[in-house]
Structure 1
């Protein structure tokens, strides 16, 4: 190869490299990993915000469900992904704040493997039963559970999820012994309640609200400290048992090592996304409380939740390999 040709190639290489750099982030689709199956809270949130977020940041957003091991598989995959901002984690506190206490080796460190990017909102869980069920109120449930200890059962989205632990909390608060039936996600749990295979379930409000509105599920009580603006007619468990409170919050994380510039671009784009009235209306209609938690406080919130749920997991006796 002569020197003149080598020089031409070198110049072309520099121009090409400069062109790629000039395009900046993002210049290809962004993968938003949901570490749970379709139909759950973060899956619903991801699919509601993806179009607006893509428009705000200037790239298409691909929502990817990577379920398994209570969220560990999808979370691990993001922790081990390239630190280039093209793989983000849209997760819930049951995976990020409970699994480290529940699993002997979840395969990730929730604090040291991730950069907190954006807090989206929180929503309660709702205790539901099928239409025609004798369990219409919390008092009905407690009375039945006390009459026949160990016979009344409830479904959850899986071992160690908030929906499981809320049942354990209610057992302790009310002095009852409901039996826990874990499912691989909230959708199959709801399906079995709809089909009458299980009498009760704890489900996140976004995953159950459409069924409740359609009259396909009966809402018994919700798990927040106060009633939800999306369904103010549903009483809270806390109205009877003040200590029985637990919500799911949704937030975006990136693998540690992502540049500060990319972090800023994602946060700015999410600010624009969450400022859109149509996005806020859709999320609120699903039962999400959009009261903001500043990004600077998301890390502290995660640490507080890790400590809170560690105590509850220990008290429940739940432990997974």
Structure 2
């Protein structure tokens, strides 16, 4: 299985390279609006980023790129829909680390295979998770949170965008590493989880920075740490979890994929379009303002990246002890 290429076969990658070498990226153009499926609710990190990139793609393709939200099952519903879609370049997936990597270890069975059913186009961004709490919780640091949770086992509720999502795994991994007993409360997206956290219905989330940075800056939430290996330039005063729990790292990432079997010329044109959008000053600026790091890549680079991420996320799942039906 690991030897399978994400474009479906070695021949698929070779054809895409040949199309690029022959300058045929302009030979394909969409004949109607392109659908970009997002596996999470509107207003969350994936939705916000997808809409930003979709608008820039539409301007370059000459056809609208319409975001369609298909929330549920940690992104599996949207992924399955794209895997079964006609491979004509008009239906794409805004894929995330949970659906493309972690879910292979979380779910007993999936209706799609990441290494067989998709043609990767380009990675989009790497995103830090930000561990935030309701200000009413009497903690101001990760050590204080650990001490409070240990003193109150089973009384702290953390939210996520759904069972098995990257948000769930970040919090579950943190709890497992710190030896904490906390209760998971799944939502159908990160945005509703953040809303309930602000309202005090839950006490903590490990959320993509874009979803909560506004609330942090407004004083509605308190930021304790980021889950990346390094501090975020956007919030340099906020430490990493690893500064308390050495080696802890759960970064998020996303990218855009087409169904396997999509014509090589379409793969090249779509990939070039995404990369061009991500390198534009406007899109880069807006992603960086959200705390995301733009990461344009070729189909081959994105394929290699996903292949390497699958075992890494399997280990994160193992450490977290999380599972999904």
The runs of at least 4 consecutive aligned structure 1 residues that moved more than 4 Å come to 291-294
Q: Contact (CA 8 Å) 1:37, 1:67: kept in 2 or not?
A: yes
**Correspondence for 1:188:** 192
Q: Contact (CA 8 Å) 1:56, 1:270: kept in 2 or not?
A: no
Report which of the two structures shows the higher radius of gyration computed on alpha carbons.
1
**Correspondence for 1:78:** 82
**Correspondence for 2:228:** 224
Deviation at 1:223, TM superposition (A): 0.4
SS across alignment from 2:293: coil
Compared with structure 1, are the counterparts of its residues 293 and 276 closer, same or farther at alpha carbon in structure 2 (3 Å cutoff)? Answer: closer
SS across alignment from 2:128: strand
Compared with structure 1, are the counterparts of its residues 291 and 79 closer, same or farther at alpha carbon in structure 2 (3 Å cutoff)? Answer: closer
* 1:307 maps to 2:311: yes
Q: Contact (CA 8 Å) 1:130, 1:218: kept in 2 or not?
A: yes
Compared with structure 1, are the counterparts of its residues 130 and 148 closer, same or farther at alpha carbon in structure 2 (3 Å cutoff)? Answer: closer
**Correspondence for 2:130:** 126
Deviation at 1:295, TM superposition (A): 3.4
**Correspondence for 2:163:** 159
Query: In the aligned structure 2, how far is the partner of 1:294 from the partner of 1:229?
Result: 26
> 1:1-321 residue pairs with structure 2 within 5 A?
24-321=28-325
Compared with structure 1, are the counterparts of its residues 227 and 317 closer, same or farther at alpha carbon in structure 2 (3 Å cutoff)? Answer: closer
SS across alignment from 1:181: strand
Deviation at 1:235, TM superposition (A): 1.2
Q: Contact (CA 8 Å) 1:32, 1:64: kept in 2 or not?
A: yes
Query: In the aligned structure 1, how far is the partner of 2:118 from the partner of 2:125?
Result: 19
Q: Contact (CA 8 Å) 2:176, 2:321: kept in 1 or not?
A: no
Farther-moved stretch of structure 1 (164-173 vs 254-263): 164-173
Q: Contact (CA 8 Å) 2:129, 2:250: kept in 1 or not?
A: yes
Q: Matched residue pairs, number?
A: 300
Compared with structure 1, are the counterparts of its residues 71 and 109 closer, same or farther at alpha carbon in structure 2 (3 Å cutoff)? Answer: same
Structure 1 vs Structure 2 CA RMSD: 1.8
Query: In the aligned structure 1, how far is the partner of 2:291 from the partner of 2:59?
Result: 24
Segments of structure 2 that go 5 or more residues without pairing to the other structure are 1-25
Deviation at 1:255, TM superposition (A): 0.3
1:134-161 C-alpha deviation (Å, 9 max, x unpaired): 1221122011012222322211112111
**Correspondence for 1:14:** none
SS across alignment from 1:64: strand
Query: In the aligned structure 2, how far is the partner of 1:193 from the partner of 1:89?
Result: 29
Q: Contact (CA 8 Å) 1:116, 1:253: kept in 2 or not?
A: yes
Q: Contact (CA 8 Å) 1:35, 1:68: kept in 2 or not?
A: yes
Query: In the aligned structure 1, how far is the partner of 2:27 from the partner of 2:179?
Result: 61
Compared with structure 1, are the counterparts of its residues 210 and 241 closer, same or farther at alpha carbon in structure 2 (3 Å cutoff)? Answer: same
TM-score by length of 2: 0.87
Query: In the aligned structure 2, how far is the partner of 1:315 from the partner of 1:139?
Result: 20
Compared with structure 1, are the counterparts of its residues 270 and 291 closer, same or farther at alpha carbon in structure 2 (3 Å cutoff)? Answer: closer
Deviation at 1:276, TM superposition (A): 1.4
Q: Contact (CA 8 Å) 1:76, 1:107: kept in 2 or not?
A: yes
Segments of structure 1 that go 5 or more residues without pairing to the other structure are 1-21
